[in-house]
């Protein structure tokens, strides 16, 4: 592995103005304002000029890097249908800019991971769109074209010789694409929490990987109404023990913010504080297991008021700058939902105990 001089006190923030040009059409939740408002919020708090934050400008991913995850036929299809106009699924349109901007999004993930791998920064956040976790080897959908996280991981395997990654996907939707891509691959421990039932319908507790990859996919579905407080337990009982046994060389977050209680397309009850807590716990965890290497890649999150605030807090936490005054939810905590999740955690540990000593 290449060891850089490095600035290990700094957080990398990947962004490109071209991300705003990805046009999904009127009324679509995955819209440019998610990013443009976040940039404004970061600017307003002075985070873009803060010496603890390094703004990184990405380049489009090379076709070879995309092809390490996606089939050549699928890449060609995206390129051609982008030119002619069309859609992968009704909510995942292709316009003349889509192919290039989706490449730039995957390139943004690569840049975020690479900056951490070469010690240019301590951790990073990729403020990118379109998102990626619903894209598989030869399919897209759910607003996703290329699997940004998977492309980044394959890039780091190839160029930095890294061998073990833990992906923590807390987007409210199951990352079916990421799961499929790594389903038989023991080098990537894929961990997802997601609302169920909800799109895309996958991510049952019994989906645990196949062949060599058996035990390396972990799914914890959450019932509608689950409060964010339960994440402390999820981290304590599953994420920390799994990470300590697996010893990843990097933790990669599929960081969606649509489990937030105000999100217009889902029904969990995470708060801004939930995301701050998760970020702080992952900083502690990565400090212990992988030299602080933590890369967050933006997935979903559609509350246009909340997402800029959440990302500002998350980036500020990553950079060790503390937090701002947070106006947060005072929703009543649904204890019944917490009990359902606790029960599922117990079941999941039983299912996985053949593969992980720490869960026995």
Cis check: omega of the bond before 87, within 30 degrees of 0:
no
CA dist 135 and 177 (Å) reads 4
**Cβ nearer to Zn ion, comparing 119 with 271:** 271
22 or 293: CB nearest Zn ion: 22
In terms of phi and psi (left: phi > 0; alpha: psi -120 to 50; beta: otherwise), the region of 331 is beta
Report, in Å, the least distance between residue 161 CB and Zn ion.
32
Q: How far is the CB of 230 from Zn ion (least distance, A)?
A: 18
Residue 22 annotated among the catalytic residues of the structure:
no
Separation of CA 22 from chain center? 19
Residue 220, both tokens: 């914890």
Q: Min. distance of Cβ 256 from Zn ion in angstroms?
A: 4
Coil, helix or strand for 348? helix
Residues 308-342 as b or e (16 or more Cβ within 10 Å = b)? bbbbbbbbbbbbebeeeeeeebeeeebeebbebbe
CA 219 centroid distance within chain: 15
Catalytic residue among 134, 173, 174, 194: 134
The smaller minimum CB distance to Zn ion, of residues 131 and 215, is found at: 131
Q: Which is nearer to Zn ion, 180 or 258 (CB)?
A: 258
Least CB distance to Zn ion at residue 214 (A): 26
Which pair of tokens denotes residue 84?
């002619």
Site residues for Zn ion per CB under 5 A: 171, 173, 256, 258, 300
Q: Which helix (H) or strand (E) holds 169?
A: strand 165-169
Cα distance between residue 237 and residue 235, in whole Å: 6
The nearest distance, CB 182 to Zn ion, in angstroms, is: 18
Q: Which of 1, 18, 158, 43 is nearest to 98 (CA)?
A: 18
Which long-range contacts (C-beta less than 8 Å, at least 24 apart) are formed by 316-320?
Answer: 316/45, 316/47, 317/276, 317/279, 317/280, 317/283, 318/11, 318/123, 318/124, 318/125, 318/279, 318/283, 318/294, 319/10, 319/11, 319/47, 319/50, 319/52, 319/53, 320/9, 320/52
Count CB atoms within 10 A of the CB of residue 102. 29
Comparison of 249 and 258: residue with beta carbon closer to Zn ion: 258
Q: C-beta of 266: minimal distance to Zn ion in Å?
A: 7
Closest CB to Zn ion among 34 and 173?
173
Q: Residue 127: CB partners within 8 Å, gap ≥ 6?
A: 13, 14, 15, 19, 35, 38, 39, 108, 298, 311
CB closer to Zn ion, 19 vs 260: 260
Q: How far is the CB of 172 from Zn ion (least distance, A)?
A: 5
- Residues acting as catalytic residues: 134
């Amino acid at each position: 592995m290449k060891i850089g001089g490095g600035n290990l006190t700094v957080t990398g923030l990947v962004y490109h103005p071209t991300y705003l040009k990805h046009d999904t059409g009127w009324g679509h939740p995955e819209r440019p304002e998610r990013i443009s408002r976040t940039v404004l919020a970061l600017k307003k708090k002075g985070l873009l000029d803060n010496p603890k934050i390094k703004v990184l400008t990405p380049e489009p991913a090379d076709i070879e890097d995309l092809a390490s995850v996606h089939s050549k036929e699928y890449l060609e299809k995206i390129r051609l249908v982008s030119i002619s106009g069309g859609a992968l699924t009704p909510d995942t349109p292709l316009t003349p800019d889509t192919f290039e901007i989706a490449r730039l999004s995957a390139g943004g993930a690569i840049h975020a991971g690479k900056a951490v791998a070469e010690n240019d920064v301590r951790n990073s956040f990729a403020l990118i769109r379109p998102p990626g976790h619903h894209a598989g080897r030869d399919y897209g959908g759910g607003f996703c074209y290329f699997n940004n996280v998977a492309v980044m991981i394959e890039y780091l395997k190839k160029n930095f010789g890294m061998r073990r990654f833990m992906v923590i996907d807390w987007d409210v939707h199951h990352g079916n694409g990421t799961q499929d891509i790594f389903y038989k691959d023991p080098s990537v421990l894929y961990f997802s929490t997601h609302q169920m039932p909800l799109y895309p319908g996958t991510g049952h507790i019994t989906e645990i990987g196949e062949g060599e990859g058996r035990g390396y996919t972990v799914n914890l579905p959450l019932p509608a109404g689950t409060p964010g407080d339960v994440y402390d337990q999820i981290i304590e009982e599953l994420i920390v023990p799994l990470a300590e046994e697996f010893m990843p060389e990097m933790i990669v977050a599929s960081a969606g913010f649509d489990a937030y209680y105000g999100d217009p397309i889902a029904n969990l009850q995470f708060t801004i504080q939930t995301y701050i807590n998760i970020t702080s716990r992952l900083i502690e965890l990565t400090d212990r297991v992988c030299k602080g290497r933590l890369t967050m890649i933006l997935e979903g999150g559609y509350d246009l008021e909340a997402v800029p605030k959440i990302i500002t807090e998350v980036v500020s936490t990553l950079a060790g700058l503390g937090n701002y005054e947070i106006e947060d939810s005072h929703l009543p905590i649904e204890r019944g939902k917490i009990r359902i999740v606790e029960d599922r955690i117990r079941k999941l540990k039983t299912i996985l105990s053949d593969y992980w000593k720490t869960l026995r």
